[in-house]
């Protein structure tokens, strides 16, 4: 992708996702993720209905009128985007690939964080950490993350979820909000890393999948290639037995994934590429 094309694509994503953030999603983000605590803001005169426990007795004695301490939420948070950039995400049967949708979701979350003056960082991972972007504030930093995601070419096409999770543990000692964005096509067990990250950070997982992967269409012989290993196999999709086997395999993998996250205490949203991902994100936030 040349520079001019990249900048146009970044601008299109910014316009779309910032509008969604401002008009649709901002309230859900702010409600779902609270600040670290309360900090002292000012002292003002007592008003009927104020909590008497907040009375500032020193000021009250000095002025001979009751005053209370006013506190405000410490809003600043750190948001980390753990983004799967492995080969399987390039698949797309419609207008958008899984990676396209992940890019838009990441942009929406990043602009939501920036709008609330939160820091945003990112970890791009395959079966290795491909890129670490330390958290910073501001629109320019969000645009930098989007540019990198649009134009990034990973060194590996394979997936290892535990690699991204372990790097987050090493990179950030203070509590953060972490969004794990992937199709979760990883046969390895990463449940221990999930539990460890969820213990220290506020971890939320978003699974993106193409609806065409749920069941095989009846179109005869299909040449199926694994985008991560390169392995090619022929499937006879005209066979009802083969289609049923494939569908059972998908459902079994889906159930195992959901159980893994439930046992680890991590929220999981599954979104198809042809779905309205904003509605899916809103449901996820509202369930917290």
Q: Average pLDDT, whole number, for the chain?
A: 85
**Domains of the chain, first to last:** 3-32+76-286 (3.40.50.410), 37-74 (no CATH)
Predicted confidence band at 3 (pLDDT cuts at 50, 70, 90)?
A: low
Distance (Å, rounded) from C-alpha 29 to C-alpha 24? 10
Q: Is the pLDDT of residue 265 over 80?
A: yes
Q: Per residue in 141-168, pLDDT tens?
A: 999 999 999 888 999 999 999 999 999 9
Exposed / middle / buried, residue 207 (Cβ in 10 Å: 0-12, 13-18, 19+): buried
CA nearest 34: which of 72, 83, 81? 72
Residue percentage of the chain with pLDDT more than 70: 86
What is the distance between the alpha carbons of residues 24 and 12, in angstroms, rounded to a whole number?
18
Q: Is the pLDDT of residue 216 over 90?
A: no
Sort strands 67-74 and 37-45 into parallel, antiparallel or unpaired.
Answer: antiparallel
Task: Tell me which residue has tokens 């501001």.
Answer: 138
Report the distance separating Cα 98 and Cα 232, nearest Å: 21
Number of Cβ within 10 Å of residue 152's Cβ equals 14
Token pair in block for residue 207:
């699974």
Average pLDDT (244-248) is 89
Per-residue model confidence (pLDDT) at position 116: 81
Q: Which of 50, 80, 82, 87 is nearest to 66 (CA)?
A: 50
**pLDDT tens, residue by residue, 105-145:** 999 899 888 888 889 999 999 999 999 999 999 989 999 99
Residue 217 · residue 237 · CB < 8 Å: yes
Chain centre distance of CA 3: 27
Residue with tokens 């492995």, as numbered in its chain: 86
pLDDT at 236: 81
> In angstroms, rounded to a whole number, what is the distance separating the alpha carbons of residues 122 and 100?
16
pLDDT of residue 70: 74
The model's confidence at residue 197, banded by pLDDT at 50, 70 and 90, is: very high
pLDDT of residue 174: 86
Cα three-residue angle 251-257-258, rounded to 5 degrees: 90
Asked if 270 and 277 count as a contact pair (C-beta separation under 8 A), the reply is no
Convert the pLDDT of each residue in 88-111 to its tens digit. Answer: 888 766 778 899 999 999 998 998
Assign 2 a pLDDT band (cuts: 50, 70, 90).
low
Closest by CA to 203, choosing from 185, 180, 219, 181, is: 180
């Amino acid at each position: 992708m040349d520079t001019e094309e990249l900048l146009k694509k970044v601008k299109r994503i910014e316009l779309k996702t910032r509008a969604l953030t401002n008009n649709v999603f901002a309230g859900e983000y702010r409600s779902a993720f609270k600040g670290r605590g309360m900090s002292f803001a000012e002292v003002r005169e007592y008003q009927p209905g104020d909590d008497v426990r907040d009375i500032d007795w020193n000021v009250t004695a000095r002025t001979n009128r009751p005053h209370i301490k006013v506190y405000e939420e410490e809003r600043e948070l750190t948001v980390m985007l753990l983004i799967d950039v492995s080969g399987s995400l390039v698949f797309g049967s419609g207008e958008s690939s899984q990676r396209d949708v992940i890019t838009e979701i990441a942009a929406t979350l990043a602009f939501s964080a920036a709008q609330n003056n939160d820091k945003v960082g990112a970890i791009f991972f395959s079966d290795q950490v491909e890129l670490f972007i330390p958290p910073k504030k501001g629109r320019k930093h969000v645009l930098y993350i989007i540019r990198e995601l649009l134009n990034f070419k990973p060194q590996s096409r394979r997936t290892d979820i535990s690699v991204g999770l372990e790097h987050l543990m090493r990179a950030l000692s203070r509590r953060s909000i972490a969004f794990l964005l992937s199709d979760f096509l990883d046969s390895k067990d990463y449940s221990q890393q999930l539990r460890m990250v969820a213990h220290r950070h506020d971890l939320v997982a978003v699974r993106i999948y193409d609806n065409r992967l749920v069941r095989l269409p009846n179109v005869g012989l299909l040449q199926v290639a694994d985008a991560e290993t390169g392995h090619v196999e022929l499937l006879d999709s005209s066979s009802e037995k083969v289609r049923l086997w494939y569908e059972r395999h998908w459902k079994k993998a889906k159930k195992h994934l959901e159980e893994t996250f439930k046992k680890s205490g991590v929220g999981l949203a599954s979104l198809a590429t042809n779905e309205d991902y904003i509605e899916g994100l809103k449901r996820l936030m509202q369930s917290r």
